[in-house]
Amino acid sequence: MNKAVRNAVIAGNWKMNKTRPEAKALIEELKPLVKDADCGVVICVPYTNLETALELTKGSNIKVGAENCHWAKSGAFTGEISADMLAEMGVEYVVIGHSERRQYFGETDVTVNKRVRAALDAGLKVILCVGELLEQREQGITEEICAMQTKVALLGVSEDELKNIIIAYEPVWAIGTGKTATADQANEVNGYIRSVVAKLYGEKAAEALTIQYGGSMNAGNAEELLSKEHVDGGLIGGASLKAPDFATIVAAASK
Ligand code: 13P
């Protein structure tokens, strides 16, 4: 397994933050700070900021993503947004299966799989989130949970389509808590997820798959996490809302 064959990607997940003027200010501040990045840079923003983000990042190295999408192409799903709607706007990425969606909005492995399928069919790149709860880690079933979430999410996804998927390992106990997984813990689970993917798609496909870590990654701990063999980038919540902090993480991934 050779880390150098993989693309490092640092993605911000803004969650439910930033009005349009705030989004504009953040993107304007961020652009010059990450322009020389030697890794992928993505900002996943609320639906209401997509147009602003697409407009402001035109001609820059920053790609734009949404934070979720529905599985149907269109129809009676009040309040939802389809993958086609995102693709038509020029959105490139979509986060699917975030633990906050699983925790607060009834997202299951099966609906995650349906959303993944819809996103791929629309030509979007998927940032697929998996990760265990604290109780599950304490019960020693982290691997089982991550394997299950990964396998179900990838049902019906071909080896060719896997190229449009990034997996983000986000231990739920580390999200927004300031409690980061140690670099070794992150590396261990990322490596395990890669072995699960290798069993499904073969070693070569697994070797090429970008697997991020997410959960309290910040300007201070990013370098150590990103130095690990299986940590190919980060999905960043809180620290993505501050341009200098996000840029420091991007710089750490560019080394
Ligand atoms: P924090 O970086 O705020 O812990 O959030 C991580 C996350 O959930 C990214 O999707």
Q: At what angle do helices 142-153 and 109-121 cross, to 10 degrees?
A: 40
Mutate to test the pocket of ligand 1, among 102, 104, 235 (most ligand atoms within 8 A of CB): 235
Residue 119 beta carbon below 6 angstroms from any ligand 1 atom: no
CATH of 9-242, one of 3.40.190.10, 1.20.1260.10, 2.40.50.140, 3.20.20.70: 3.20.20.70
pLDDT band of residue 176 (cuts 50, 70, 90) is confident
d(CA 176, CA 148): 24
Residue 86 beta carbon below 6 angstroms from any ligand 1 atom: no
Predicted confidence (pLDDT) per residue in 66-77, tens digit: 999 999 999 999
What residues contact residue 191 under an 8 Å CB cut-off, 6+ apart? 229, 230
**Cα 88–chain centre separation:** 21
HSE-CB for 114 with a 13 A CA cutoff: 9
Annotated catalytic residue 230: no
Domain ranges of the chain: 9-242
In this structure, the residue with its CA closest to atom 1 of ligand 1 is 237
Q: Evaluate whether 207 touches 201 at the Cβ level (below 8 Å).
A: no
Annotated catalytic residue 88: no
Q: What is the pLDDT of residue 17?
A: 98
DSSP character at residue 35 = T
Range 169-180 average pLDDT: 92
pLDDT band of residue 217 (cuts 50, 70, 90) is very high
For residue 167, give the H/E element and its range. Answer: strand 165-169
What's the chain's average pLDDT? 97
Single-letter code of the amino acid located at 28: E
Residue 214 beta carbon below 6 angstroms from any ligand 1 atom: yes
Range 126-143 average pLDDT: 97
Predicted confidence (pLDDT) per residue in 29-50, tens digit: 999 999 999 999 999 999 999 9
pLDDT band of residue 180 (cuts 50, 70, 90) is confident
Ligand 1 atom with minimal separation from the 239 CA: 2
Predicted confidence (pLDDT) per residue in 104-134, tens digit: 999 999 999 999 999 999 999 999 999 999 9
Q: What is the pLDDT of residue 179?
A: 84
Supply the pTM of this predicted model.
0.98
Q: Evaluate whether 240 touches 13 at the Cβ level (below 8 Å).
A: yes
Ligand 1 geometric centre to CA of 234 (Å): 9
Q: What is the CA radius of gyration of the chain?
A: 17
Range 60-66 average pLDDT: 98
Give the closest residue to 167 by CA, choosing from 134, 126, 199: 126
Say if residue 80's pLDDT is above 80.
Answer: yes
Say if residue 178's pLDDT is above 90.
Answer: no
Q: What is the pLDDT of residue 77?
A: 98
Range 166-185 average pLDDT: 94
Ligand 1 geometric centre to CA of 76 (Å): 31
Q: Evaluate whether 226 touches 233 at the Cβ level (below 8 Å).
A: yes
In this structure, the residue with its CA closest to atom 5 of ligand 1 is 237
- Record the tokens describing residue 53, joined without a space: 């983000």
pLDDT band of residue 255 (cuts 50, 70, 90) is confident
d(CA 235, CA 167): 10
d(CA 147, CA 153): 10
Ligand 1 atom with minimal separation from the 214 CA: 6
d(CA 251, CA 46): 25
SS3 content of the chain, % helix, strand, coil (to 5): 50, 15, 35
Q: Evaluate whether 96 touches 128 at the Cβ level (below 8 Å).
A: yes
Say if residue 1's pLDDT is above 80.
Answer: no
Q: Evaluate whether 91 touches 64 at the Cβ level (below 8 Å).
A: yes
